Amino acid sequence: MKAPTDLPILYSLRNCPYAMRARLGIFKSQQQVILRDIVLSNKPNEMIVASSKGEVPVLVVSPLLVIDQSLEVMLWAFNKSDPNDLLHRQDETILPKMLILIAQFDTGFKTAFDKYSSAKRYHDENVAQYRQNCEVYIQTLEQRLNEHAFLMSENESLADLAILPFIRKFARVERKWYLQSPYPKLRVWLNHYLQSTLFSKVMKEYPLWLESQEVVIFGDN
């Protein structure tokens, strides 16, 4: 096993969906990283030096390899180790389809969701319309889950883990509406994750790194 000083360093924020996505990928790939939890109002200089974006996640693999896109962190992890075949390597046509689906959520859904979430927060009278804009994407997932247990097939995939953090946020905006919405398969799918050991480990709360300087080893446990 590598000594802690040789492990990649992941700068993360517990409830950020992009950072959550990165942690899910690392955990499912059974990799280990040094986890440094931060808050965006107090960013470590080390993180800014590694990535001028100043946003999480930032994975410092080495001085010459820094990955600051959440999906790229997942792909890095699964290309190193993919014990559950989340890339569905047996069918080379599936990964491109997964990436297209994820891109739709990273662009179209994310834009619609931000407006929906903001409308609810500020009591905008158009909140229902903004929600309906999100539902265009939610309906796609419900249809997929009517066909099989997970988004791409009967088996879990990269797409499930990459989209999960955003559906978790969507479900929390109008909780009462969500629980009565015409998306029963989506609720089953989401609950499967929220009630899992995987989720509890990925969402574990750690001391903020700048305050504690604690070396936290995350993953493969």
pLDDT classification of 4: cutoffs 50, 70, 90: low
pLDDT over 90 at 220, yes or no: no
Residue ranges per structural domain of the chain? 4-85+199-218, 94-196
The strand pairing partners of 39, in sequence order, are 42
- Classify 219 in phi/psi space as left (phi over 0), alpha (psi -120 to 50) or beta: left
Mean pLDDT (the chain) is 95
Domain 4-85+199-218 and domain 94-196 have a common topology:
no
pLDDT over 90 at 188, yes or no: yes
pLDDT at 55: 95
What is the homologous superfamily of the domain 4-85+199-218 according to CATH?
Glutaredoxin (3.40.30.10)
The CATH number, out of the four listed (1.20.1050.10, 1.10.10.10, 3.60.40.10, 3.40.50.2300), of the domain defined by the range 94-196: 1.20.1050.10
Q: What is the DSSP string of 132-195?
A: HHHHHHHHHHHHHHHHSSSSSSSS--HHHHHHHHHHHHHHHHTHHHHHHSS-HHHHHHHHHHHT
pLDDT over 50 at 170, yes or no: yes
Mean pLDDT of 153-182: 98
pLDDT over 70 at 5, yes or no: no
pLDDT classification of 3: cutoffs 50, 70, 90: very low
